Amino acid sequence: MQENSFDTIVIGAGAAGLMAAWELAQTGRKTAVIEAKDHVGGRAHTITDKNFELPVELGAEFVHGDLELTKLLLKKAGVEQYTVKGDIWQNEGDELDKQSDFIEDYSALNKKFKEIKEDITVAEFIEKHLQGKEFEEARFTLKNYVEGYYAADTHKVSTLALKEELNSSSDKQYRVEGGYAKLVEYLHRQCKERGVQFFLSNPVKEIKWKEDAVEVIAEQNSFISSKILVTVSVGVLQSEAIRFSPAIPEKMDTAKKLGFGPVIKTVLQFDEAFWKKKEFTQQKNLDKLSFIFSKTVIPTWWTCYPKNAAILTGWSGGPHAEEIKDLSNEEILQKALESLSEIFNVSVNLLQLKLKGWHIANWVTDPFSCGGYSCEVVNGKELKEVVRQPIDNTIFFAGEGLYDGPEIGTVEAALYSGRETAHRIIASS
């Protein structure tokens, strides 16, 4: 083989790409991973900063339930996970009120879900089925959940998929001790031990192909192989930053119909957990504050509880991220402080004095992500199946956005999709 000739090339070193490369290499295939960024992990990106008490998760942070593959890999890596605990609060009309769950009065909401026979968007569901004063809280918390947790637009998200996710997913959430970097490092190490070659800081520009013959033109060099697996985000597919020659219009047109949410994450380190001081919180006990929702510019915030750290993470998803995506990091920071000022009735000047460190992760304007993660749209299952189908057993696609199930948008979905597609490539050879 030539130096840059491989059995299989994987585009993207996120969770799906790493998992797939590991599986492929274990069968003896000469495998390369080409990555646009200077690090592996993709949207699971943990950094350390001397100004922060804990590792900072700029991307994926939570393990959403008892997820089989994630748990297995963490166990193999010798990495612990711990349960996310604490109270959920809401700020509305200058009042702080405790919520019983992410979505209030879920039993009444679920009865309304059962009235749905054909799929509609969540916006249509709210308009047709959640009117009246008795559903005021349900409307508010459901919209917050979709725009926050899903990082999505209610005018696009599938109501039936949301119903399935809410009824099948675990109430438990976890964090990875030391951050998702621990899992990424393990996968990266396993790949390298099996001979996988990594080419970082090397954005792919064009993929020339015919059956069982692929040439990848990247920024630094070119590569050839008989199979290629594309694991870039749905957002990157939609941007058509990678050219295919000959073109694959059916895949690209279908990918543009998939749901992919904009996300901006703001992580702030303070000198103390000021929200635990009752003079800032209307005499409410926020010692166990976990999440707080509001109607501010940056509406969703969480703490590190049960870890004792003076860190707040602001989450802008869906329309909220679109609203501020073109601002500079310094301007987003200012919006974050103004939001916290409104939520906790603390002056912006005081917050600035207490601020010890900050990071903004604007995934929307990142050209190698083009957003945060995927969500299910109406008819999403059929759309994903079209994109997943290999082209002439030569071009394959994988990633969290192509996973069929309620875990879409998670690291688990990326890992599972990468593994399953690798097995498909192996079986096709």
* pLDDT (tens digit per residue) in 257-266: 999 999 999 9
Let me know if residue 100 belongs to a domain: yes
Let me know if residue 50 belongs to a domain: no
Question: What would you report as the CA-atom Rg of the chain, rounded to the nearest whole angstrom?
Answer: 22
- Centre a 10 Å sphere on the Cβ of residue 428 and count the other Cβ atoms it contains: 13
Task: Return the DSSP state at 190.
Answer: H
Query: Could you tell me if 162 and 300 lie in one domain?
Result: yes
Q: 21 and 419 in contact (C-beta within 8 Å)?
A: no
Query: Could you tell me if 283 and 409 lie in one domain?
Result: no
Query: Could you tell me if 167 and 271 lie in one domain?
Result: yes
pLDDT confidence band for 100 (50 / 70 / 90)? confident
As a whole number of angstroms, the distance between CA 94 and CA 89 comes to: 13
As a whole number of angstroms, the distance between CA 172 and CA 174 comes to: 7
Residue 194: what pLDDT? 97
Query: Could you tell me if 162 and 90 lie in one domain?
Result: yes
- 238-267: string of b/e by CB count within 10 Å (b at 16+)? bbebbebeeebeebeebbebbbbbbbbbbb
Q: 17 and 236 in contact (C-beta within 8 Å)?
A: no
As a whole number of angstroms, the distance between CA 178 and CA 88 comes to: 24
Domain count, the chain: 2
Let me know if residue 90 belongs to a domain: yes
Query: Could you tell me if 254 and 267 lie in one domain?
Result: no
Query: Could you tell me if 102 and 158 lie in one domain?
Result: yes
Let me know if residue 292 belongs to a domain: yes
* pLDDT (tens digit per residue) in 184-198: 999 999 999 999 999
Query: Could you tell me if 114 and 93 lie in one domain?
Result: yes
Encoded tokens for 56: 């900072």
Query: Could you tell me if 353 and 205 lie in one domain?
Result: no
Let me know if residue 52 belongs to a domain: no
Residue 1: what pLDDT? 45
What SS3 string covers 79-90? CCEEECCCEEEE
Domain holding 388: CATH number?
3.50.50.60
Strands (E), 30-126: 31-34, 46-47, 56-57, 62-63, 81-83, 87-92, 95-99
As a whole number of angstroms, the distance between CA 59 and CA 80 comes to: 19
- Decide which of 362, 387, 408 is a domain's last residue: 362
3-state SS assignment for residue 379: coil
Let me know if residue 274 belongs to a domain: yes
Name 411's Cβ contacts closer than 8 Å, sequence gap at least 6. 15, 44, 60, 63, 70, 180, 183, 400
Query: Environment class of residue 45 by beta-carbon count within 10 Å: exposed (0-12), middle (13-18) or buried (19+)?
Result: buried
* pLDDT (tens digit per residue) in 15-46: 999 999 999 999 999 999 999 999 999 999 99
Query: Could you tell me if 244 and 355 lie in one domain?
Result: no
Query: Environment class of residue 361 by beta-carbon count within 10 Å: exposed (0-12), middle (13-18) or buried (19+)?
Result: buried
- Decide which of 311, 327, 362 is a domain's last residue: 362
* pLDDT (tens digit per residue) in 291-305: 999 999 999 999 999
Name 255's Cβ contacts closer than 8 Å, sequence gap at least 6. 234, 237, 238, 387
Query: Could you tell me if 190 and 214 lie in one domain?
Result: yes
Q: 56 and 47 in contact (C-beta within 8 Å)?
A: yes
Segment 385-410 mean pLDDT: 95
**In terms of pTM, does the model score above 0.85?**
yes
Residue 341 has, within 13 A of its CA and on its CB side, a CA count of 16
Domain holding 273: CATH number?
3.90.660.10
pLDDT at residue 283 is higher than 90: no
Residue 169: what pLDDT? 66
Q: Domain range holding 276?
A: 85-171+263-362
Segment 222-237 mean pLDDT: 97
- Decide which of 334, 362, 390 is a domain's last residue: 362
Query: Could you tell me if 297 and 157 lie in one domain?
Result: yes
As a whole number of angstroms, the distance between CA 406 and CA 395 comes to: 26
Residue with tokens 């707040």: 312
Residue 264: what pLDDT? 97
How far is C-alpha 195 from the geometric centre of its chain's CA atoms? Answer: 29
- Our CA angle for 32, 19, 37, nearest 5°, is 55
- Centre a 10 Å sphere on the Cβ of residue 229 and count the other Cβ atoms it contains: 28
pLDDT confidence band for 103 (50 / 70 / 90)? confident
**Residue 311 is which amino acid?**
I
* pLDDT (tens digit per residue) in 134-174: 888 788 788 878 887 777 888 889 998 888 887 776 678 99
Let me know if residue 225 belongs to a domain: yes
Query: Could you tell me if 412 and 274 lie in one domain?
Result: no
Tell me the CA distances in angstroms from 289 to 308, 317, 418, one per residue in order. 11, 21, 36
Encoded tokens for 259: 């749901």
